[in-house]
Every structure is written in structure tokens, then in C-alpha cells.
């Protein structure tokens, strides 16, 4: 792991330390001198943004835990106590709740970037799969965090999601009872969710370490998808990408601050400001925005078990992506048909998000209920069409496209591509 560093300790202490723990060599080789393709665009800054968001969530979360009480009788009040009494409590809580949304915005951009530029292809399959695992752990962490304020949507979201496991044949009931620690979502459930919500971010940090390790073996992919051929193709990570990432992080913080200070509840559900009531289901249950596409897939299928399988399958299929895409060209830039299908896929995912947001039997994007037993463009029908498109992208479109599509010629090297795009300062006569 010492990487491309020729670290030589300068001070006597540095030499003493180097012989015992060569950590400065690791930092210099992996974080400072690491050769990084010189053509990375701003879509590549989201990795750094995600690292910052993980730290932001850890820091705000740890201080919130100093004021929160994980008990069904006190959880809701303790969150209001944070909002009203604790010094800057409102700020810390809004940073944490909006931070979760920002984290997901960044991770979705990061995932779509990886898909467009073929970053999952050999030799980066394990890097990609660790990424999918990180995404799964993020979803679990965010879900358990949303339960903690013990509002109406916390409670009913928890009930619906944990009930997904009751679809497992034979052992489903026992599994849900075990998850709940009772016969319903109750105090034991809240307590264990708090414990796990505190644990999982540290698991995430460990997975992120593995993700970066797996990244630093082959090195970064880049917008051309062409391998690095030599030192003319790269620049040291510091200062070039510490600065580029740093700038992007500052811009991203503007967005984060805009939500935190000017629309702190815009992404949340107002009904979660009602305390949880196990005897009254809200008229319309929706998860947080970042789960909506998967919720739409769950609702698209009128069979419980198959719906649950489809929902989990829609995420797990990402693990197989490196093998489903048969094209040997990484970057979508050189794949004319893939490029268009990719953007259609993005639209399909966003459509799924909208389809998951409304009552299943209402007209799509309307408050009006459609008459039953007839064909109408309802939230459910839009979700069904989009769900079919979602899975069709992975199979059979991607495997076939790799065989049928003729890609455009690739540039001979990163450096050639960069120089070819460079505009002359004085137009040629």
C-alpha cells in the first residue's frame, strides 16, 4: 500500500516514526502523490463530497445522541427538546436530517456517473460491488434514523418496511417478531434501531476504506475510459484534485445550506411532526424521497412476495452489472446508443420516484382517484411501466447492446484526448 511514493523522512522524528509505523509514507503515496488521470471532470468530485457528507453525518449524529432519548414515551419529546431547548439543537438536527438527503443526492450522482463511464468494468468490479454494499448499508442506516423521532411516519414507515420480511416463506413471521422484539413495532424496536443507527455509520466508514483501497489498486477510471498509459496521463492527487474536489465540496455545501436554512422541512413529511400512534395509520404512507423508486417497484406488483423480491432485486441487480454489460468499451462517450439509453434509464428512475410518491389508485401526479377496475394512467400503472423499463435496462438491453452496438473510435491515450480538445489561444489563420 505504499504506492508510488518515494517518501524519505526528513526529520529525526520522522525517521524514528517511519521505522515503527510508516503512516506518512501511506498518506503521501495514497493521498498526496497518488497519480490521478488528468482529465477527471466535475462528476468525479462526488466521491470526495460523499466522504465529507459521511463525516458531517457522524459529527452531527454523535452530538444529537447526547440529547436524544430512545424510549417510545420520550423520543418524540426529546427531539422537540433538541429543537427548542438545546443550544443550536435546531441547527444540528436540521443539518443531520437534510444531511441524509444530501448524502443520497451525492450517492445517486456518484452511481450514475459510474454507470455512464463504465467504472464498474474490469478491473473495477470489486470496487463497484463494495460501492453497492455501501449504498445498501446507507439505506438501512437512513431508515433506522428516520424511525428515531417516533413521529407518525417514523412508526408506520418502520412497520411497513419491517413487514417486508414477513413475506419470506415459512420463517417470515418469526423473523419479523425477532426484528421487532415483540408483536408490533414498539419500545424494543426503537431501542435496537437507535443502537444500530449509531453502529452502522462506522461500518460504512470501514467499507469506504475498502472502497478506496479497491480504487487505488487499478487507479481511477476517467471520462475516456481509456487506461492510464504513463505519467503524461496523470497528475498528483494533491494539489490538483484536492483543490478541484474542495471547490465542488464548497458548492455542494451551498446547496446543503440552502436546504438546511431556507427549507429545512421541504424534503420531509409534515405528518412526522405528529407523535407515533399505533392505532391510526396515516391516510397515505410514503417513504423519504430517496426510497421512492424502490417503493414504486414494490407497489407495482400485486403479489406480496414477488413485490418484495422485485424491490430487493432492483438493488441487488447492481451487483451483477459488471457482467451484464458485455461491451468492452467503458465510457458512454464512445457508445452512441448506450449514451441515449443511459439517459432514458435516468428518466425511468426519476419517473419511478414520482410513481412511488402518490396513492396507487390516483391519476398520476393528481389528487383525484381513478375509478376502479378500468385502465387509467394511475401512479400504480406508471410505476408498473417504469418498473418493466428499469429491469429491461439491465436485462436484456445491456447484454445485447454490448454485442450489437458499434462504438466510436477511442482516443489513443488520455493525454491525446486532452490535447485534441484544447482550443488554440489564437485561431489558426
- In angstroms, the CA 276 to CA 149 distance is 9
Binding mask 267-296 for other proteins (x = CB under 8 A): -----------xxxxxxxx-----------
Angle value at C-alpha 389, between 387 and 392, nearest 5 degrees: 110
- Interface residue with other proteins, options 31, 51, 59, 164 (CB under 8 A): 164
End-to-end CA distance of the chain: 51
Q: 286 has which bridge partners?
A: none
Residue 87 — φ and ψ, nearest 5°? -60, 125
Binding status of residue 304 toward other proteins by CB under 8 A: yes
Give the binding range for other proteins (CB under 8 A) out of 26-34, 112-120, 181-189, 339-347: 181-189
| CB 220, CB 113: distance < 8 Å | no
Distance in Å, CB of 158 to other proteins, minimum? 9
Residue 36 phi, psi dihedral angles, 5° rounding: -125, 135
Confirm or reject binding of residue 125 to other proteins (CB under 8 A). Answer: no
Taking the least distance from each CB to other proteins, the nearer of 174 and 231 is 174
Nearest Cα to Cα of residue 143 among 128, 165, 170: 165
**Only segment of 128-136, 154-162, 218-226, 401-409 that touches other proteins (CB under 8 A):** 154-162
The answer to whether 182 touches 189, Cβ cutoff 8 Å, is yes
Contact with other proteins (CB under 8 A) among 181, 218, 264, 275: 181
Closest approach of other proteins to the CB of residue 201, in Å: 21
- Told to check if 177 binds other proteins by CB under 8 A, we report yes
Length of the chain measured in residues: 429
- Largest pairwise CA distance in the chain: 82
Q: Is 192 a binder of other proteins (CB under 8 A)?
A: yes
Q: Residues 341-370: x/- map of binding to other proteins (CB under 8 A)?
A: ------------------xxx---------
How many residues bind to other proteins according to rule CB under 8 A?
A: 39
Residue 240 cell numbers, joined:
490538483
Which stretches of the chain bind other proteins, using CB under 8 A? 156, 159-160, 162-164, 166, 177-186, 188, 192, 278-285, 299, 301-305, 307, 359-361, 372, 380
Amino acid at each position: 500500500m505504499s504506492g508510488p511514493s518515494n517518501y524519505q523522512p526528513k526529520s529525526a522524528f520522522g525517521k524514528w516514526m517511519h521505522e515503527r509505523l510508516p503512516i506518512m509514507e501511506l498518506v503521501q503515496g495514497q493521498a498526496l502523490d497518488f497519480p490521478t488521470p488528468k482529465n477527471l471532470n466535475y462528476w468525479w468530485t462526488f466521491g470526495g463530497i460523499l466522504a465529507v457528507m459521511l463525516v458531517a453525518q457522524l459529527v452531527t449524529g454523535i452530538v444529537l445522541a447526547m440529547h436524544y432519548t430512545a424510549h417510545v414515551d420520550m423520543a418524540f419529546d426529546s427531539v422537540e427538546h433538541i429543537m427548542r431547548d438545546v443550544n443550536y439543537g435546531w441547527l444540528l438536527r436540521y443539518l443531520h436530517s437534510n444531511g441524509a438527503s444530501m448524502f443520497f443526492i451525492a450517492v445517486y450522482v456518484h452511481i450514475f456517473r459510474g454507470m455512464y463511464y463504465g467504472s464498474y468494468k474490469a478491473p473495477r468490479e470489486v470496487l463497484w460491488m463494495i460501492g453497492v454494499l455501501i449504498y445498501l448499508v446507507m439505506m438501512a442506516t437512513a431508515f433506522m434514523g428516520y424511525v428515531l423521532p417516533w413521529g407518525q411516519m417514523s412508526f408506520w414507515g418502520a412497520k411497513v418496511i419491517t413487514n417486508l420480511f414477513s413475506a419470506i416463506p415459512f420463517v417470515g413471521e418469526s423473523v419479523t417478531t425477532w426484528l421487532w422484539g415483540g408483536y408490533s413495532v414498539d419500545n424494543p424496536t426503537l431501542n435496537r434501531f437507535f443502537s444500530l443507527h449509531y453502529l452502522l455509520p462506522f461500518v460504512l466508514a470501514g467499507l469506504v476504506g475498502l472502497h478506496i483501497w479497491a480504487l487505488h489498486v487499478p487507479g481511477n477510471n476517467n471520462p475516456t475510459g481509456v487506461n492510464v498509459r504513463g505519467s503524461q496521463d496523470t497528475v498528483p492527487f494533491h494539489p490538483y484534485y484536492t483543490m478541484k474536489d474542495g471547490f465542488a465540496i464548497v458548492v455542494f455545501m451551498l446547496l446543503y445550506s440552502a436546504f438546511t436554512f431556507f427549507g429545512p422541512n421541504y424534503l420531509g413529511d409534515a405528518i412526522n411532526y405528529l407523535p407515533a400512534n399505533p392505532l391510526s395509520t396515516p391516510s397515505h404512507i410514503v417513504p423519504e424521497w430517496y426510497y421512492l423508486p424502490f417503493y414504486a417497484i414494490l407497489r407495482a406488483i400485486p403479489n406480496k412476495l414477488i413485490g418484495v423480491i422485485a424491490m430487493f432485486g432492483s438493488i441487488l441487480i447492481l451487483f451483477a452489472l459488471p457482467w451484464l454489460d458485455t461491451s468492452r468499451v467503458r465510457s458512454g462517450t464512445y457508445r452512441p446508443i448506450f449514451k441515449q439509453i443511459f439517459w432514458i434509464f435516468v428518466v425511468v428512475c426519476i419517473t419511478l420516484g414520482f410513481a412511488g410518491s402518490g396513492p396507487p389508485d390516483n391519476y398520476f401526479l393528481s389528487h383525484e382517484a381513478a375509478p376502479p377496475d378500468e385502465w387509467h394512467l394511475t401512479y400504480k400503472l406508471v410505476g408498473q411501466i417504469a418498473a418493466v423499463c428499469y429491469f429491461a435496462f439491465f436485462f436484456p438491453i445491456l447484454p445485447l447492446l454490448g454485442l450489437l452496438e458499434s462504438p466510436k473510435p477511442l482516443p489513443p491515450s488520455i493525454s491525446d484526448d486532452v490535447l485534441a480538445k484544447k482550443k488554440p489561444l489564437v485561431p489558426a489563420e
